[in-house]
Chains A and B, each alone.
Chain A
Amino acid sequence: MLRKGILLGLIGLMLIGFGVFAQEPVTIEFWHSMSSGHQPYLVELVDKFMEEYPYITVNLTYQGGYGDTEDKVEASVVAGNPPTMVQLYENVITPLVEVLYPIGPQMTAEEKADILDGLVENNTFDGVLVSVPWNKSIMVLFYRSDLIDTPPTTWEEFATMAADLTVDIDGDGLIDRYGTGLRPYNPELFLNYLIQNGGTILNEDWSAVTIGDQAGVEAMQYAESLVPYSYISSGYLSDAVGSDLVAMFVDTSAGYYYNNKAAVDNGFELSVARVPAGPVNNKSAIQGTNLVVFDMGQTQAQKDAAVLLARFLIRPENTVAWSLRGGYLPVVKSAYEEQAWLDYLVENPEYIVMSEAMVDGFAQILHPNYGLMRGTIGGAFEEVILGASTAVDAMANLVLDLTDLLDD
């Protein structure tokens, strides 16, 4: 009886073993937009994944910039043959939701709860976590620490300091250094002001445009008030900070390397702080893409393999590795307690601020026309910054333009 039991047990173990180890080989396509700078780190992570799951082969393919990848994904969907996995912005995901394989239901409750709160909402469609966040950055304040001892923490402080730091050094009647810098076409900066003032772009069910409410108008008026103390340039402000033209400015954390290099190369010191808080909160705009898995002709094995890869990439140790080398910020809460990240913060204290900002940042809305809405918001901001329109008029026109995009 005992022998029989042992024999059956062994057979059972063997069957389980076969089940685990004798998986059918499966190949998946992963389209991404990580160019030569980031690609090697992605390749490393994917190689590590394939070591852990030897039956899965991942074909990583660089598809060009985000716009190129979006075009190719759309063409592949029209042709009925999309890749298994892609990195995409939220607004591109929205119209594709019904041909996506939701990743959330395949994750454990702990994994889902670990994703940063600000990132859960913008990957959730009809209550289901469809995609997962991946390469993310946040808006922060860059300031010249050789000029500014304590960075501003509120809108008022920022405006006062910007005025004080706008100076004509050589007395020729021309301003030599501005308190701050503005890129006229910068929708994220305006959205930062809007959210910090308690405003929203649309109402909850997307049936009405709310950006023109009092909060929105005030946000635009605040931006308008900064114009006299702003160096205005369509180019990246790293050039301006390197040329001693600006003392502080708001920019994405992904630009840290370039901004810092420009400052240091020219003998200045650059530090990072939270974006000054508005009347309602001090939230910052999160930017970056997410991972999706397609369900349009893919086999179940392929979909399962892609989900495994998505879950692998956002594991705490992997999102930290990706952030350390790729210049992004981790997307799960537990990553911020990883020893590797804590060690990194000791060496790079400016990332402490970025991490704090990331934890309560806000992401873009999921409306399928958000891309055009964003462009339209950027256009209104530009009109005000370049003095072509008052804040009130620009917001009135913006409401009309966005209303037109609501139902399209």
Chain B
Amino acid sequence: MEAPVRKDRPSLFVLAKENVMKRKLHIPDQWKVRAFWLESGQAYLYLLPAFIILAVFTFYPFFSAFRLSLYKWSAIRPPGTYIGLTNYAKIFADRHFWNAVWNTFYYVAISVPVTLFLALLVANLLNKPLRMRTFARTSFFLAYITPLVAVAMVWSWMYDWRYGVLNYLLGFLGIDLINWLMDPRFAMLAVIIMSVWRFVGYQAIILLAGLQNIDKMYYDAAKVDGASGFRVWWNVTIPLLTPQIFFVFIMSMIGSFKVFTEIYVLFSGQPGPLKSAETLVFYILRIGRFDGNLLGRAAAASIFLFGVIFAFTLIQLFVTQRKVHYQ
């Protein structure tokens, strides 16, 4: 027996078709104005150079790296032989890869919050009406603009286990000599200390700009309410500084996941004793360039790194979206 069909109601297909027709017919008024098209065209024209640069130097390399990660590289017949996901399987089975992943997370987990915390303190200090404030601001920023090679050279002297100033100072506290650059337990810590020192000034300047943008009326209101110094800082300064804190946090996290130069210079081109300071970027360059030309594997590792950074950035965006206050 055939199922009864209700005749008083049009079928879904008819409804959908009508809907599409209606939508097709709906043309926004602004589209009918010639000036709109001229203005939009002009805007896209201005964006074109940036888009070309992004396309050539960001999008194309990204897709190219992804494609490369599926091949066994050959310079003579690039990109080589298609091997599917073998490169991913190889790196996931490589203990040096996981060592690099661990080192990278270790570096990020310590250097990002420590740098941000110190930068907040420094920014607050620099925001106070101190003597020689401009000199102090410049001094903190100097660490960032000094060439990294020079910075690493000086730090490698300071880290020297026999004659370095760091061990000399630790000696006053009764701490035994630490072989900073040769002891695998301290090598990554040495990189972190140097990086924190280098980036505190840069982050402090950005946070300082944020601090100076906070309207004085919030502080006046807090004063009227009888809030203490710490209360004002915690309940007024920090919430209104969240856009800058968020920016600095995201940027420094992305930068930290890609740390390489500091290690390369501090350990004279090596990934630290027993690869104790080998990060993902170092690993990628070591297998793809320094020690060999396994570009397929290197590309697979770089896609993995992209995924990690992307995931963390999304999480941060999601978590901090509710915490960031715009004035």
Taking Cβ atoms with an 8 Å cutoff, the residues of A that contact B are 67, 71, 74, 77-78, 95-96, 98-99, 184-185, 232-235, 369, 371-372, 374-375, 379, 382-383, 386, 388, 397, 401, 404-405, 408
Q: Given A77-B75, A234-B267, do A375 and B292 touch, yes or no (CB 8 Å)?
A: yes
Q: How far is the CA of A239 from the CA of B304 in the complex (A)?
A: 41
Q: Given A96-B75, A234-B182, A388-B274, do A369 and B292 touch, yes or no (CB 8 Å)?
A: yes
Q: Which 8 A-B pairs have the closest CB atoms?
A: A372-B292, A375-B291, A371-B292, A77-B75, A372-B291, A74-B75, A371-B291, A78-B78
Residue of B nearest to A382 (CB): B274
Taking a contact as CB atoms under 8 Å apart, the answer to whether A369 and B76 are in contact is no
Q: How far is the CA of A375 from the CA of B290 in the complex (A)?
A: 9
Q: How far is the CA of A232 from the CA of B183 in the complex (A)?
A: 11
Q: What is the distance, in angstroms, from A82's C-beta to the closest C-beta of chain B?
A: 10
Task: Point out the residues of chain B lying under 8 angstroms from A96, CB to CB.
Answer: 75-76
Taking a contact as CB atoms under 8 Å apart, the answer to whether B182 and A232 are in contact is yes
Counting chain B CB atoms within 10 Å of each CB, the highest count among A184, A235, A408 belongs to: A408
Taking a contact as CB atoms under 8 Å apart, the answer to whether B273 and A95 are in contact is no
**B76 touches which of A99, A234, A235 (Cβ 8 Å):** A99
Task: Point out the residues of chain A lying under 8 angstroms from B181, CB to CB.
Answer: 234
Q: Given A74-B293, A369-B294, A408-B294, do A386 and B90 touch, yes or no (CB 8 Å)?
A: no
Residue of B nearest to A92 (CB): B293
Taking a contact as CB atoms under 8 Å apart, the answer to whether B75 and A78 are in contact is yes
B93 at the interface (CB under 8 A from A): yes
Q: What is the distance, in angstroms, from A184's C-beta to the closest C-beta of chain B?
A: 6
Taking a contact as CB atoms under 8 Å apart, the answer to whether B292 and A233 are in contact is no
**A67 touches which of B275, B287, B289, B294 (Cβ 8 Å):** B289
**B75 touches which of A67, A95, A397 (Cβ 8 Å):** A95
Taking a contact as CB atoms under 8 Å apart, the answer to whether B291 and A388 are in contact is no
Q: How far is the CA of A185 from the CA of B74 in the complex (A)?
A: 29
Taking a contact as CB atoms under 8 Å apart, the answer to whether B273 and A404 are in contact is no
Task: Point out the residues of chain A lying under 8 angstroms from B198, CB to CB.
Answer: none
B94 at the interface (CB under 8 A from A): yes
Q: How far is the CA of A99 from the CA of B76 in the complex (A)?
A: 8
List residues 72-112 of chain B with CB under 8 A from any CB of chain A. Answer: 72, 74-76, 78, 90, 93-96
List residues 243-298 of chain B with CB under 8 A from any CB of chain A. Answer: 267-268, 270, 273-275, 286-287, 289-294, 297
Task: Point out the residues of chain A lying under 8 angstroms from B74, CB to CB.
Answer: 95
Q: How far is the CA of A152 from the CA of B201 in the complex (A)?
A: 55
Taking Cβ atoms with an 8 Å cutoff, the residues of B that contact A are 72, 74-76, 78, 90, 93-96, 181-182, 184, 267-268, 270, 273-275, 286-287, 289-294, 297
Taking a contact as CB atoms under 8 Å apart, the answer to whether B273 and A184 are in contact is yes
Q: What is the distance, in angstroms, from A52's C-beta to the closest C-beta of chain B?
A: 34
Task: Point out the residues of chain A lying under 8 angstroms from B90, CB to CB.
Answer: 404, 408
Task: Point out the residues of chain B lying under 8 angstroms from A67, CB to CB.
Answer: 289-290
Q: How far is the CA of A108 from the CA of B130 in the complex (A)?
A: 81
A-B contact pairs, 11 of them (CB 8 A): A95-B293, A233-B182, A234-B181, A235-B268, A371-B291, A372-B292, A375-B292, A382-B273, A388-B184, A397-B95, A404-B93
Given contacts A375-B291, A388-B184, 14 further A-B contacts (CB under 8 A): A95-B74, A96-B76, A98-B76, A232-B182, A234-B268, A234-B270, A369-B294, A371-B291, A372-B287, A372-B294, A382-B274, A404-B94, A408-B90, A408-B294
Taking a contact as CB atoms under 8 Å apart, the answer to whether A408 and B267 are in contact is no
Residue of A nearest to B297 (CB): A408
Taking a contact as CB atoms under 8 Å apart, the answer to whether A234 and B78 are in contact is no
Task: Point out the residues of chain B lying under 8 angstroms from A405, CB to CB.
Answer: 292
Task: Point out the residues of chain A lying under 8 angstroms from B182, CB to CB.
Answer: 184, 232-234, 386
Q: What is the distance, in angstroms, from B241's C-beta to the closest C-beta of chain A?
A: 42
Task: Point out the residues of chain A lying under 8 angstroms from B268, CB to CB.
Answer: 234-235
Task: Point out the residues of chain A lying under 8 angstroms from B293, CB to CB.
Answer: 74, 95, 371
Counting chain A CB atoms within 10 Å of each CB, the highest count among B72, B274, B286 belongs to: B274
Q: How far is the CA of A376 from the CA of B145 in the complex (A)?
A: 36
Q: What is the distance, in angstroms, from B165's C-beta to the closest C-beta of chain A?
A: 18
Task: Point out the residues of chain A lying under 8 angstroms from B289, CB to CB.
Answer: 67, 71
Task: Point out the residues of chain B lying under 8 angstroms from A369, CB to CB.
Answer: 292, 294
Q: How far is the CA of A211 from the CA of B41 in the complex (A)?
A: 66
Q: How far is the CA of A404 from the CA of B286 in the complex (A)?
A: 16
Q: How far is the CA of A185 from the CA of B289 in the complex (A)?
A: 18
Q: How far is the CA of A185 from the CA of B76 in the complex (A)?
A: 32
Residue of A nearest to B156 (CB): A235
Q: How far is the CA of A235 from the CA of B161 in the complex (A)?
A: 13
Q: What is the distance, in angstroms, from A367's C-beta to the closest C-beta of chain B?
A: 10
Residue of A nearest to B161 (CB): A233
Q: How far is the CA of A95 from the CA of B75 in the complex (A)?
A: 8
Q: What is the distance, in angstroms, from B265's C-beta to the closest C-beta of chain A?
A: 13
Task: Point out the residues of chain A lying under 8 angstroms from B273, CB to CB.
Answer: 184, 234, 382, 386
Residue of B nearest to A77 (CB): B75
Task: Point out the residues of chain B lying under 8 angstroms from A233, CB to CB.
Answer: 182
Q: How far is the CA of A139 from the CA of B78 in the complex (A)?
A: 37
Residue of B nearest to A185 (CB): B270
Q: How far is the CA of A379 from the CA of B283 in the complex (A)?
A: 13
Task: Point out the residues of chain B lying under 8 angstroms from A234, CB to CB.
Answer: 181-182, 267-268, 270, 273
Q: How far is the CA of A365 from the CA of B94 in the complex (A)?
A: 23
Q: How far is the CA of A379 from the CA of B287 in the complex (A)?
A: 13
Q: What is the distance, in angstroms, from B139's C-beta to the closest C-beta of chain A?
A: 31
Q: How far is the CA of A233 from the CA of B286 in the complex (A)?
A: 21
Task: Point out the residues of chain B lying under 8 angstroms from A388, CB to CB.
Answer: 184, 274
Task: Point out the residues of chain A lying under 8 angstroms from B275, CB to CB.
Answer: 379
Taking a contact as CB atoms under 8 Å apart, the answer to whether A374 and B94 are in contact is no
Q: How far is the CA of A235 from the CA of B267 in the complex (A)?
A: 9
Residue of B nearest to A99 (CB): B76
Q: What is the distance, in angstroms, from A63's C-beta to the closest C-beta of chain B?
A: 15
Q: How far is the CA of A279 from the CA of B314 in the complex (A)?
A: 61
Taking a contact as CB atoms under 8 Å apart, the answer to whether A386 and B184 are in contact is yes
Q: What is the distance, in angstroms, from A403's C-beta to the closest C-beta of chain B?
A: 11
Q: How far is the CA of A233 from the CA of B94 in the complex (A)?
A: 27
Q: What is the distance, in angstroms, from A88's C-beta to the closest C-beta of chain B?
A: 12
Q: What is the distance, in angstroms, from B226's C-beta to the closest C-beta of chain A?
A: 59
